[in-house]
Amino acid sequence: MLIRKYAAKDRKAVENIHFKVGITAYSMSRNPENKKTYSKLIEYHVTKEPESCFVLENDGKVAGYLVGCLDDRNYKDVWITVKACSDFLFRYFKLNKKDRRFFYCQIRTFFTALLGITPEFRVKKPKNAGHLHMNLLPECQGKGLGSLLIKRFLKYAKSKKVKAIHADAIEASFGNNKNFWIKNGFEIYSREETRFWKDIYPKEKMYIVCYYKKL
């Protein structure tokens, strides 16, 4: 296993893992099939701040990634979601029925959250902090490799005088990685119920949890 800095040649592999593992730790292929629109969620990191990204390499192949941002003021998550929605609308009639349904549900929930009807945007984020997002292929999970990725990124962030880092995670009955974040020195900063995935998991009660760590 090798942890190294992200390179432009890794982008396709990182996007594939991002899609395969998904935000809920289950393959997104059960929901959308269109990787291009879904990959917009990490586009900032690999295009605007690639120096803050790392990959886990196994037998010469990328098996995991950590994408980071050293200052949240450079990363406008609402605007990035708007851009993803715009991309969906522009390509709507080129998408299959499954993708149309998924992205329609995402856009609908996004605007209800924006209007304060649903609580997603009530999740508090620390000020003057950076953030990270990471995923590992299933065969690399549970082996301490995620912790090594975080350790490498935090060392880098600290060398850049970053004072704090946060990470957002999805909590559900089929996936709760609270122990992982706590083990790596993070604490819960805020937690709010999310309905972004309600159409896909109608019986699930899911939460967005913001984990926080001072450096």
In the chain, % of residues over pLDDT 90: 49
CA distance 53 to 66: 6
Residue range 2-166 forms a domain whose CATH class is alpha beta
Domain assignments of the chain as residue spans, ordered by start: 2-166
CA distance 200 to 209: 19
Neighbours of 123 (CB within 10 A): 18
31 pLDDT exceeds 90? no
pLDDT value, residue 99: 75
- List, for residues 183-204, the tens digit of each pLDDT value: 999 999 999 998 887 777 788 8
pLDDT value, residue 95: 75
Q: What is the mean pLDDT of the chain?
A: 86
Q: Are 196 and 173 in contact (CB under 8 A)?
A: no
- List, for residues 33-81, the tens digit of each pLDDT value: 666 667 777 888 999 999 999 999 998 999 999 999 999 988 876 666 6
93 pLDDT exceeds 80? no
Which element (helix H / strand E) includes 65? strand 61-69
pLDDT value, residue 35: 67
CA distance 56 to 78: 29
Tell me which residue of 48, 59, 28, 207 sits closest to 135, measured CA to CA.
28
What predicted TM-score, i.e. pTM, was given to this entire model? 0.86
pLDDT value, residue 201: 77
For residue 43, what are the contacts with CB-CB under 8 A and spacing of at least 6?
A: 80
For residue 120, what are the contacts with CB-CB under 8 A and spacing of at least 6?
A: 109, 113, 192, 194, 195, 196, 208
Give residue 153's pLDDT band: very low, low, confident or very high (50, 70, 90). very high
pLDDT value, residue 19: 84
